Structure formats: structure tokens, C-alpha cells
Structure 1
Amino acid sequence: MTPLYYAISVVMVAFHKLASQVFAPDSGAAWVISIVGLTLVIRAALIPLFVKQIKSTRNMQELQPKVKELQKKYGHDREKLAQETMELYREAGTNPLASCLPLIIQMPIFLALFRLLDHAADGKAKGIMSVEQAEQFASAELFGHIPIKLTLINNDGNLWVIIAAVALVLAMTATTFLTQRQLMTKNMSKQALEGPMAQQQKILLYVLPLVFGIGGIAFPIAVLIYWTTSNLWTMGQQFYVIRNNPTPGTPAAEAKVKRDAEKRARKGLAPLEGDVVAGTVVLEKDDERRPAQRQQPKNQPRSQRTGGQKSPNKKKR
């Protein structure tokens, strides 16, 4: 954990020095800003992993029909089914564990921050943080009433700490739930929602918020601020990706097609293939809704036009 202590303390001390230009160095505001700054730096560094997570999740959704075929073929042999499924993932260049990478990588950072605060509460410095800074961190109070080192179960009888901790635990739980629900309701196809991966995600939809909610009662206010800020970043980042680059065949993809069609209509541009205009799907890319042209009759001999009969008005020779 020592390298993490140094990495976290470098970022926190840097943001703390910036915040100290406005707030008192021992104030809760200065240290909360340093925690938020640490969160933003970490999440920005994890963007490549987040992109990899999105691609992996999308590939796994697209492979669901093939996974179902394997289940029908090897449903009686679980070992063979597992081997064939992993081989399918390998050939497609995807990894089921990639969707968990951001969370897995964040856990050591989360634990390091937890331990850093725990040591600071005892006046012990870690990383590049000085003893003076550790004491300031441990004694910092948000809004002058909420020591950021206290927890919901260790609140020293401080009502403000209880209120703040409950609010942050609820926010952390709610953002975890909404982020997972956003993914399932908007960026998963109907086939994917019926697959085994969807069943696992449905379980996680309720289990993860419950785990964080129960664990949150033992987290210091500072750690709750970090985790809630991280969840808000995840939710916003995921919303942006789903809105602008949704998985094909999902409700988010249909919504994007509709928005793009409305945007082109406002600009007076011709609709594209797949656009929905006035309840009608455009089938051709260059369809501009022109009225159908009248079919011109072909030139025919008079005998064909009269059905082979002579005109009664024509005189005989």
C-alpha cells in the first residue's frame, strides 16, 4: 500500500495547497476540495479502462445469441459449456472480467484513502503528508460542525455527523443503483436482457447498493464524499456514452435515431435511411418524399388501342 499512500497524498496535498489560497488550511472545505480533486484525477485516469469496459459489455451483449446456442448444445455438460463459452469470448476478443476493471482498480485506492485517514486521525502521516497536515486533516470540520474523520456508528454524539453520514450513505447507495439501472434499461438489447449476463446484472442491481449501504455506516465522512463523488462521475460518464454512442438494437439507440432525425428536420435536411418521419420509416437513403410521377402510356398501334376492332364511323371503301 505504500506506493498508493504516496500517490494519493501527492494529489491531495497539491489540491489542498490550492484550496488553502481561499480557505483556511485546517478547514473542512479545504480538505473536502482535496478529496474531490483526488476523485476527479483518479476517474480521469480510469477513462481508458471505462472505454474498454463499455466495449467489453457491448461485445458480450452481441454474443448473447451465440451463447444461447451453446447452452442448448452443451446444457447437459457444464464443464464443456464453460470451455466453449470462454473460447467464444476469446475469439471475439472480449473478456467478461473487463466490465469489473474500474471497480477492481478503485478498491485499493479506496482502502488506501481509508487507511490514510485512519492514520491521520491518530496524528500519523503517510506518503508525503506532513504530521502537521495529518493533524489538520484529522481535525478538519465541514461547515464548522462535521468532523470528516467521524462515521455514522462512531459519531461522538454529533447530530450533524449523523445527518451528513445518513445523507451521504443514501446518496452513495442511490447513485450506485441508478448507474446500474441506467445501463440495463437503456443500453441493453432485448436479447441481452434475457441472457445469463442480464440475470447476474439484475442481482448486482440490488446487491451492490445494499453492500455499499451497509458498509457505508462504518465509512468516515471523508471516504463517503470520495465514493459519492466517484459514483456521480460514473453516472454522468455513462449517461454521455449511452446517449452519444449507444449499443445497436437498444432503446438508447432508437432514441438517438429519433433525435438525429428531428435535428436534421429542424435544419431542413432530407431524412436518412432508418429515420422516422411522421410515423413512417424512411427505407431509402435519398428518399425526399417527392410525389409519385404519373406513368406515361407507351406508344401502341391503333389496332391494339381499339382492341383489334375497326371504328364504326370509318367508311368502307
Structure 2
Amino acid sequence: MTDIPTPAHLLGLIRQFRGGESEPGKDAIAGLLAKLEGEDSAGLLEAAQDLARIEPASEVAIALLRRRLDHADWDARFSAACGLGCFEPAFPILHAMLDDEDAQRRALGAVGTSCSPRAADAASDLIRLLEDPDAEVRLRAVDAIRSVADDAGVRASASVVPRLTALIQDADERISSRAIAALTAFGPAAAPAVPAIASLLRHPVYWVRWEAIGALADMDAEAVATAVPDLIPLLRSTLAEERSAAAEALGCIGPAAAASQDELARLGGEDPDEMVRAYALEALARIRNPGTIDE
């Protein structure tokens, strides 16, 4: 399927399910097809998932969703791309969109591909799009790469971690944050990204710092030990949530975070926030007694 059906052909397909005498099966399919043209994005995705299991209705469903890709509203286009990802026959369409001259079409292609069970088949193109000149394309490519991070072929790529690491410094804060989250999905292979992630602990935007702290807490303790000097200043943050998160990350690092013990002890005894005190004392215990670190 390479072309969108003509209006006449599409109308004929729709009539198979909406026209003629009422039948339970036709009525159910007609209701699902109607959701593909509605305003409820969640309902659209659920309908697409159901229709993907009804082979006779797939062609018309894919056609309706492809037409929705030209909707005036971005959210409608986004939901259409996600819906297309539910249909295996639509994968070549989405894959081809990754090479479209129009940046928005490339972004939508990445969105739809990330929703497809065949997403890993497009990994090399998605990795390439991490360097796309358009910010929206880079953002959606990062999300798509994160969705296939468990694939052996993706993990074996020599370029994926360096390219995600480079995006940590992207001017678009959404991309920085999502790149950090994507890197954590690569486990020990993401160790070279630790210095770049640690540099964001000084970022002026709180939620970017939050993503960086969370990533360091989730990564291999030995690999993130070099970030301890960058985490310690956050124990004096004016935000209780940030002090708690920094303490938790230091506890996850364990004995290699020994330099933070004085600050953690101070928090554990003096911080006005009960949760901060609890996280600080737990971190101290994990640093002093590695046996308490969860495996």
C-alpha cells in the first residue's frame, strides 16, 4: 500500500462497514472507524488497536488515518501517526516518512514508527534523525530510539549513545531532558554520557536538573561515581524535592559517594523537611553499609 485511496475508492470501503443493513459486526466496526475521525486522541488509539486486529477493516482505517496526517491541528496529526503505528501494513508508509523533505512529516514518521512493533527495523534511520536540523524531528527521534533501546541491534550501534549524548546539550530543553531519559535505557553502555549528564546538574531549569539527577540514580553506580562532586551542592538546594532526589542518587552510588557524608548527616539531622531527612539518613546507611543497597 503506497498510495492513499482515491475519494471514490475510500467511500466504497467505508460503505462496506457503514452502509446497507445494520449488522452487529458492521455496527461495531463503523463505531471504531468513527473514532478515527473524532477529537478524542485516547479513543482514537484504542480504536486503532482494535481495528488492527480486524483485517477487513485495516485498509479503510489506514486510509482514514493517513488523511488525518494533514489535519490542521498538531495533536490530531500526532494521534493519527500513533494510530498508524498499530497497523503492521502501515509500517512502510511511516518508515518512508522518515526521509520526507518536509520536517513535520519526518517528525510524524518518527512518532508513528515509535508506536509500531517493527520500530527496530527503522533504527538506523531513527539514529540518523538524531542529527536532523529540525528540533521537532530530533525530539521525536529521541523518543523513538528510547522505545527500541532493548533491541540488540540498536544497542550494538556505535553511534547511538554518542549522538544521544550530544543532544544533552541541545538548545531545546525538551530534547535535553528526553535524551537523558533515553540514555538511561541503555544501561552500562551509556557510561560515557555521565560527564555530560552531570553538567546538567547546574542547568537553570529545574526539570532538566531533575531528569539528570534521576538518570544518575538509575545508572551503573561505578560509572556515575565521578558525578558525586556535582551532586553534593544540590543537597543545599532551596527545593526540598531536589535535596531529596540528590540524596537518593548519592545513596544509589554507595561507598563511592563517601565525600557526601558530612552534608548528608547535616540534612539528616537539621533539614526542616521530613522527607529530606529520611532520604539523607537512608543514603548515609547505603554509603556506610553497601550491603543495604538493593540489587
Query: Shorter-chain-normalised TM-score: which range?
Result: under 0.3
The one of the two structures with greater contact order (alpha-carbon pairs below 8 A, sep at least 6) is 1
Q: Which has the higher helix share?
A: 2
